[in-house]
Chains A and B, each alone.
Chain A
Amino acid sequence: MLKNTFVKKTGFAFALAAMVFSVLPAGDLFAGDKVKVDQKITVYKKVSGVSGSLNSIGSDTMNNLMTLWGEGFAKYYPNVRLQVEGKGSSTAPPALIAGTSQFGPMSRKMKDKEIDEFEKAFGYKPTAMGTALDALAVYVHKDNPIESLSLQQVDAIFSKTRAGGLNDDIATWGDLGVKGVWTGRRISLYGRNSASGTYGYFKKHALFKGDYKDTVKEQPGSASVVQGVTKDNAGIGYSGIGYITSGVRAVPLSKKADGSAYSVDMANVMTGQYPLARFLYLYVNKEPDQPLQPLVREFLKFIFSQEGQHVVVKDGYLPLPYEVVQKELNKLEAGTY
């Protein structure tokens, strides 16, 4: 998904980024090497006359990110107020349509139906800003010896329809070839509730649009998926890479059953080899050919600045490459889309 849309739209940017990152040592990024923000991204410049309050309603995955951006933005504009509500990506479009929020953070793209409803209300489409990169990780308990999984296996673990193509259900760790005491252990599944964009994304890309098993324990937040897997040594769950703790391990994934598996690190996400990478979007209501409200525009500029992307790193997600930042910033100009 990421590779498709991403490479199509910013082919050159991506190839470049891939080149830059392939030079770096391909160590496990989340165990020590720090992700760096592209130095070419400009530092945020304060403008005068910005004040007021902002509302953000949407994704809970991006809850912290929005809060941290709000804190960072407040350093420049001490009395700008940003209120963040995060109950799931599906709550973003209705709030944008009702005008109760200026920002709709979503961890997935808007569905056609949601875009239609927005268009019906305003006569134009909402503007999607890709603000950060996230890789969805499949977590297992830290003692679990499993080396890698293919998406087809992930599908057979989580789905009852097995649209990925495997014939047999995978119910125990032994079915995945894990030896010793693990052979007989039943796999215990942790997932998200259906309002979450993570739920939708995982269903579409890891389950090949199939259906989840009824035994998936649906959790109210990404952190509780990780907590569940930490406490349950036969557990497996999915969440954004930002939620990793020392109690769990992110399993390397491969696209095809016989393909090579890639661990979740910046290099693999950038080249599109890690199969479950996605953009974290911020939707705004921007009338074509009209400038954005100054407050909203400045907030977005802050997100796409050196400081804003540092916040992304701080929250455990992956920052955008310079070229993508430029492309997103262009969307802010009046008249462009």
Chain B
Amino acid sequence: MTQFWKSGNPFVWLTGAALAASVLMIVGLVLLILFKGLSQFWPSTLAELHLQDGSKVMGEIWDREEIPDAEPGADNASQYRLRLKVANRDLYSLDFRWIDESDIQQRLSPPPAIAIERQEWGNFYGYFVGLKKDGETVAADLVDGWPTIEASLDEMRKLRERIKEIEKSDIGDINHDLERLRLGLRKITLASDTTTAETRQLIADKRAQMADLQAEYLDKEKALADFYGSSRKIVLSMVSVDGHTIDIPVYDIVRIWKPNELSVFGKCGIYLDKLWEFVTGEPRESNTEGGIFPAIFGTVMLVIIMSIAVVPLGVLAAVYLREYARQGVWVRAIRIAVNNLAGVPSIVYGVFGLGFFIYGLGGTLDQLFFSEALPTPTFGTGGIFWASLTLALLTVPVVIVATEEGLAAVPREIREGSLALSATKFETLWRVVLPSAMPGILTGLILAVARAAGEVAPLMITGVVKLAPALPLDGTFPFLHLERKFMHLGFHIYDVGFQSPNVEAAIPMVYSTTLLLLVIVVFLNLFAIYVRNRLREKLAYSAF
């Protein structure tokens, strides 16, 4: 027995089991997220249920559970109930309904059943009545009318794009110019004496420009009104299974499909279409539907700005600590402080960012450069720049520690060789030591990125919002808007999961978003690892 303990085998088993348990948990979690996140886009069949009381319901079956504490059925079997996604939120208020299996008389999956995803109110499940153009029915039969429906859907899609273009770029530019002129005007009246002829002329000029823009805007608006008018002209008449007739403007339809007639191939098409919309689309219905592109964009941009800020800061600090500072009590104390900094709760950094960056620096910036916009703050409120800097502070210890490790790993002989060839200390550092320590620095960056991408708490008080109407990077001058608030995948998960009113319908969205966040973190890391490996190869060559 003693021999058995001495052999070390139990320890091997223990370590192996610990590893297996960790791997199992991670794989289990990833699989759960994968399954839940990817299955929500699958167009399942629509079931029509005829209940004992004569009523009918239609929907997708999402769940089946045993009814607890129920009287057992005839053959002593347990009773079950179904959770049905009945959709039609505008008719029933709730998206889901529980139905006891004992209440079901008949279960059908009728081929003509139609599912429609709408811009508002979520999905509609029901039957086709007719397609009306300007009040006249142009298609009354589903089979013959289907091409007409698809054609009008295409037409409306094009109309939507045109409207979006006018709204976003044309009117957007006009509004932006107007705002700039308004602020310029205010600046003039604030700064200079308005009685001089010169300033009066300036003011009059600006006013005239504003009037021109206003006229241009009215033109665009008229065009827009026409477009909106024609967007209501084609409507799809539908009837729900319990007999409510409803007219849905084709313009409001995102997609339409016949779930019970679709082949597997057709379903795959719908699936990919939905997945594509999720990744590239804008959110709808206060983030519970549509896509999450702005959140992806915000997350990636946040991480990039953070990297730009954290690497120089961390690397310079580490270089001083390792190369120049006299090693002693002070440096040891600083090192301990840096390590401890890594353990400070992230919300503390958030509070610091709010107090120092936003109210302190941002408030001062506003006073100095954006006084014409006050009291509306420009930089004195949360934004992507301050959030990135806060995250940079949060992750700087990681970069310092990793860089120091990298610097320490550079062999003494290489430095001495360089110095012996009469290079100065700076030249040695710049040409020899830092390039060799590059993989270490990049490791630090990888760790920093991984930490920053998953961080939510400090962002919540430094500028993340539920819905940011504009991206921090766009086509209007000066293109990069560092003061803008932004959306973030981590916060999106928190918000949709904990705060959306229609949480039942939104939960699958949480899984999909989590999956996407995981994918992005993995992707960012893979990229950094690739760069590091390239560098290592290069260094290996240059060493010989």
A interface with B by C-beta (< 8 Å)? 30-32, 34, 46, 48-49, 51-53, 55, 60, 63-64, 67-68, 70-71, 74, 78-87, 98-100, 102, 142-143, 180-181, 219-224, 226-227, 233, 240, 242-247, 314-316
Task: Give every chain B residue within 8 A of A67 (Cβ-Cβ).
Answer: 286-287, 466-467
Q: Contact check, B380 vs A81: say whether CB atoms are below 8 A apart.
A: no
Which of A68, A87, A102, A142 interacts with B460 by CB under 8 Å?
A87
Complex Cα distance A247/B495, Å?
Answer: 20
Q: Contact check, A84 vs B501: say whether CB atoms are below 8 A apart.
A: no
Complex Cα distance A187/B218, Å?
Answer: 61
Q: Contact check, A223 vs B485: say whether CB atoms are below 8 A apart.
A: no
Task: Give every chain A residue within 8 A of B416 (Cβ-Cβ).
Answer: none
CB-contacts of B160-198 with A (<8 A): 166-168, 171-172, 175-176, 178-179
CB-contacts of B51-69 with A (<8 A): 67-69
What would be 13 A-B contacts, judged by CB atoms less than 8 Å apart?
A: A48-B221, A51-B179, A68-B285, A71-B467, A78-B168, A84-B466, A85-B466, A221-B495, A223-B500, A246-B95, A314-B121, A316-B93, A316-B502
Which of B95, B176, B214, B501 interacts with A49 by CB under 8 Å?
B214
Task: Give every chain B residue within 8 A of A316 (Cβ-Cβ).
Answer: 93, 501-502
Given A32-B92, A99-B375, A245-B94: A84 and B503 interface contact (C-beta under 8 Å): no
Q: Contact check, A31 vs B93: say whether CB atoms are below 8 A apart.
A: yes
Q: Contact check, B494 vs A181: say whether CB atoms are below 8 A apart.
A: no
Q: Contact check, A55 vs B501: say whether CB atoms are below 8 A apart.
A: no
Q: Contact check, A224 vs B96: say whether CB atoms are below 8 A apart.
A: no
Scoring B96, B224, B485 by chain A CB atoms within 10 A of each residue's CB, the highest score goes to B485
B470 located at the interface, meaning its Cβ lies under 8 Å from any Cβ of chain A in the complex: yes
CB-contacts of B491-520 with A (<8 A): 494-495, 497-504, 506
Which of A81, A143, A222, A247 interacts with B499 by CB under 8 Å?
A222
Task: Give every chain A residue within 8 A of B97 (Cβ-Cβ).
Answer: 246
Binary interface profile of B, 83-109, with partner A (CB < 8 Å = 1, else 0)?
100000011111111100000000000
B381 located at the interface, meaning its Cβ lies under 8 Å from any Cβ of chain A in the complex: yes
Complex Cα distance A79/B178, Å?
Answer: 11
Complex Cα distance A79/B68, Å?
Answer: 53
Complex Cα distance A60/B221, Å?
Answer: 34
* B: number of interface residues (CB 8 Å): 60
Measured CB to CB, the closest approach of chain B to A77, in angstroms, equals 8
Which of B69, B175, B375, B376 interacts with A180 by CB under 8 Å?
B69
Complex Cα distance A78/B176, Å?
Answer: 12
Q: Contact check, A78 vs B68: say whether CB atoms are below 8 A apart.
A: no
Measured CB to CB, the closest approach of chain B to A118, in angstroms, equals 14
Complex Cα distance A315/B506, Å?
Answer: 14
4 A-B pairs besides A53-B469, A224-B499, A314-B120 with CB distance below 8 A are A83-B467, A227-B503, A242-B501, A314-B121
Q: Contact check, A48 vs B214: say whether CB atoms are below 8 A apart.
A: yes
Q: Contact check, A70 vs B467: say whether CB atoms are below 8 A apart.
A: yes
Q: Contact check, A223 vs B469: say whether CB atoms are below 8 A apart.
A: no
Complex Cα distance A98/B366, Å?
Answer: 13
B319 located at the interface, meaning its Cβ lies under 8 Å from any Cβ of chain A in the complex: no
Q: Contact check, A34 vs B167: say whether CB atoms are below 8 A apart.
A: no
Which of A30, A99, A240 interacts with B93 by CB under 8 Å?
A30
Complex Cα distance A102/B499, Å?
Answer: 22
Q: Contact check, B90 vs A223: say whether CB atoms are below 8 A apart.
A: no
B528 located at the interface, meaning its Cβ lies under 8 Å from any Cβ of chain A in the complex: no
Complex Cα distance A245/B502, Å?
Answer: 7
B374 located at the interface, meaning its Cβ lies under 8 Å from any Cβ of chain A in the complex: yes
Measured CB to CB, the closest approach of chain A to B119, in angstroms, equals 10
B217 located at the interface, meaning its Cβ lies under 8 Å from any Cβ of chain A in the complex: yes
Binary interface profile of B, 67-82, with partner A (CB < 8 Å = 1, else 0)?
1110000000000000
Complex Cα distance A243/B500, Å?
Answer: 8
Which of A64, A85, A142 interacts with B465 by CB under 8 Å?
A85
Task: Give every chain B residue within 8 A of A55 (Cβ-Cβ).
Answer: 376, 381
Q: Contact check, A79 vs B176: say whether CB atoms are below 8 A apart.
A: yes
Q: Contact check, B500 vs A48: say whether CB atoms are below 8 A apart.
A: no
B539 located at the interface, meaning its Cβ lies under 8 Å from any Cβ of chain A in the complex: no
Q: Contact check, A243 vs B466: say whether CB atoms are below 8 A apart.
A: no
Complex Cα distance A246/B83, Å?
Answer: 9
